[in-house]
Homo-oligomer: A and B are copies of this chain.
Amino acid sequence: MTASAPNRRGRPADPVARAERQAQILDAAHACFLRRGFHATTTAEISAEAGISIAGLYQYFENKEALVLALVEKDLELGIALIDRLRDAEDFLFVVEQVLGALATDPIIESMARLRVEIVAEASRSPAVAEMLVASDVRMTAALTDVIASAQARGQIDPNVDPEEVALAVSCLCDGIYGRLCLPNAARGPFVAASLAMIRRTIAPDSAR
């Protein structure tokens, strides 16, 4: 039995339509979870936002937790993808600035970041989420380390710093910024700027000082 042919009985479903529906539900769930968190969000809310019936959800996701996990996975993947923007950057710090700036301006990036806070909190309860988060963290750190080392090889970063160490610290900085994004009316700009400045001072090659 192949993964792409789970059930040949009955009317063969249109896989495209199915994927679209699924994405539509995920988007709705994302919006709801952002508003009210995983636990406070009800299946009724999600289905209303998705424009389908409650029972309809269960044809695309086993249960509510599966929905959460799918969303967590998607969100973590998106976070990692963000790092790829730094790869082969001509001006490393400039791109870092762009990425951090996107957190405060690009609504998609922002919503990703905000959901991440919820994910971290959920990791305390759900072993499954914790496992995904840890795995994502490992990949993320590795990718970031890689990117930094690469930039360092290109002479854009102080050769004395340890790429992995910087990666870890930058991860922490980002998570801190994520938290601020959740606050209403909070001035996000200063946090981003301060983080950027700290990164700059840390990695700037001596020539830039």
Q: A53-B10, A134-B186 are in contact. Are A172 and B165 (CB under 8 A)?
A: no
Stretch at the interface among A16-24, A78-86, A90-98, A119-127: A119-127
The answer to the question of A101 belonging to the interface, with a C-beta cut-off of 8 Å to chain B, is no
- Residues of B contacting A122 with CB < 8 Å? 37
The answer to the question of A197 belonging to the interface, with a C-beta cut-off of 8 Å to chain B, is yes
Interface size on A, residues (CB 8 A): 53
The answer to the question of A191 belonging to the interface, with a C-beta cut-off of 8 Å to chain B, is yes
The answer to the question of A202 belonging to the interface, with a C-beta cut-off of 8 Å to chain B, is yes
Contact, CB under 8 Å: B114 / A184: no
Can you list 14 A-B pairs with a CB-CB distance of less than 8 A? Answer: A10-B53, A35-B124, A37-B122, A120-B121, A120-B182, A121-B182, A134-B183, A134-B186, A137-B183, A169-B173, A172-B175, A174-B176, A198-B198, A202-B202
A162-B197, A166-B194, A172-B180 provided; 8 other pairs, C-beta below 8 A?
A37-B125, A118-B121, A137-B183, A168-B190, A172-B176, A172-B195, A173-B173, A198-B202
